[in-house]
Copies of this chain bind each other. A is one copy, B any other.
Amino acid sequence: MADKSLFERQLNHVTIREFTDEPVDPALVEALKDVANRTATSTGMQSYSIIRIVDEKKKKALADIGGQDYIARAPELWVFVADVYRNSRIAREQGVELEAEADSDRFFQGFTDAVLAAQNVTNAVEAAGLGAVYLGSLLNDARAVIELLNLPKLTFPVFGLGFGHPNQSPQLKPRMPMDLKCFTDSYVVLDNYLEAIKDYDEEMQTYYDLRDANRRVDSFSNQVVTRLKGATKNRAALAQIAEEQGFRLSKEK
Contact = CB atoms under 8 A, between A and B. Distances in A.
A87 B176 CA distance: 11
Given A15-B40, A35-B7, A49 B182 contact: yes
A181 B236 contact: no
B7 A5 contact: no
B194 A93 contact: yes
A181 B120 contact: no
A221 to B, nearest CB: 5
Contact of A240 (B37, B104, B190): B104
A215 interface: no
A9 to B, nearest CB: 8
A137 to B, nearest CB: 9
Interface in A84-129: 85-87, 89-91, 93-94, 96, 98, 100-101, 103-105, 107-109, 111-112, 115-116, 118-120, 122-124, 127-129
Contacts of A233: 252
Given A13-B40, A158-B112, A231-B105, A49 B87 contact: no
A216 interface: no
Contacts of A50: 181-183
A189 B149 CA distance: 12
A213 interface: no
The oligomer's copy count stands at: 2
A23 B134 CA distance: 35
Contacts of A122: 40
Contacts of A52: 182-185
Q: What range describes how many residues of A lie at the interface?
A: 35 or more
A130 B155 CA distance: 34
Contact of A224 (B35, B90, B249): B90
Top 5 A-B residue pairs of the complex, sorted by shortest distance between their CB atoms: A100-B231, A104-B239, A119-B119, A115-B115, A103-B236
Contacts of A90: 193-194, 197, 220-221, 224
Contacts of A68: none
A134 B115 CA distance: 13
A45 B136 CA distance: 12
A187 B152 contact: yes
